Structure 1
């Protein structure tokens, strides 16, 4: 069974796309549509999390309740000056996503980018 990584980069101006990505990741994980589903936040979406967007936070919490926490990019968080805000989010891991993406690619994960 294939493994996937959902990478969400969109931001506030594309909230519908963000919610679509997060909903897909949740449904895919909950219904075991793939061997593994990883969720990576990488870009403007991190601001939505730092600002506590209720719709986004609910979907992130739902995803974390099904297994591994979503991961947000430490470099982006530092560049956007939101690292402290993201570290306060209980169901979110902050890490360097470049090496994570490299590792997943080497393990033949498929990537879906929103």
Structure 2
């Protein structure tokens, strides 16, 4: 089946696109469309998580126990409130993205 890396980078101008990425990732996990799924929020989508309560609640309600990754550099540099990202793993994601691709994950960007 393969492994999927869902990178969500769309912000408030393309909120529906970001929501589509969340749904694709969660349905891939739920229905076994892939052997493994990783989700990373980066750039404008990370701002959307912090600033848009509706979007954040949508993500949290769909991902269940899974903890997606969000970029630590952006969280620190944009001073994102830690409580808005408690549901996620906050790490430097650049090298993680490269590692996952090296491990055979197919990146899909929303």
Task: Note whether the superposition's TM-score is higher than 0.5.
Answer: yes
Residue 6 of structure 1 aligns with which residue?
6
Q: In the alignment, is the contact (CA less than 8 A) between 2:49 and 2:55 conserved in 1?
A: no
What is the rounded CA distance, in whole Å, between the counterparts of 2:96 and 2:64 in structure 1? 17
Q: Give the alignment partner of residue 99 of structure 1, picking from 88, 95, 100.
A: 95
Paired residue for 1:27? 27
1:57-108: CA deviation from partner (whole Å, max 9, x where unpaired)? 322342142xx310000112223221xx1x3133211000011111101101
* Closer, same or farther: CA 71–64 of 1 in aligned 2, 3 Å: farther
> Gaps (5+ residues) in structure 2?
none
1:63-74 residue pairs with structure 2 within 5 A?
A: 63-65=63-65, 68-74=66-72
Number of aligned pairs? 109
Structure 1 portions without partners, runs of 5+? none
Q: State the Cα RMSD in Å.
A: 1.5
Q: Counterparts of 1:64 and 1:92 in 2: how far apart (Å)?
A: 11
Query: How far 1:27 sits from its partner (Å)?
Result: 0.7
TM-score scaled by length of structure 1: 0.86
Kept in 1, the 8 Å contact 2:10–2:45? The answer is yes
| 1:52 CA displacement | 4.3
Shift of the alpha carbon at 1:39? 0.4
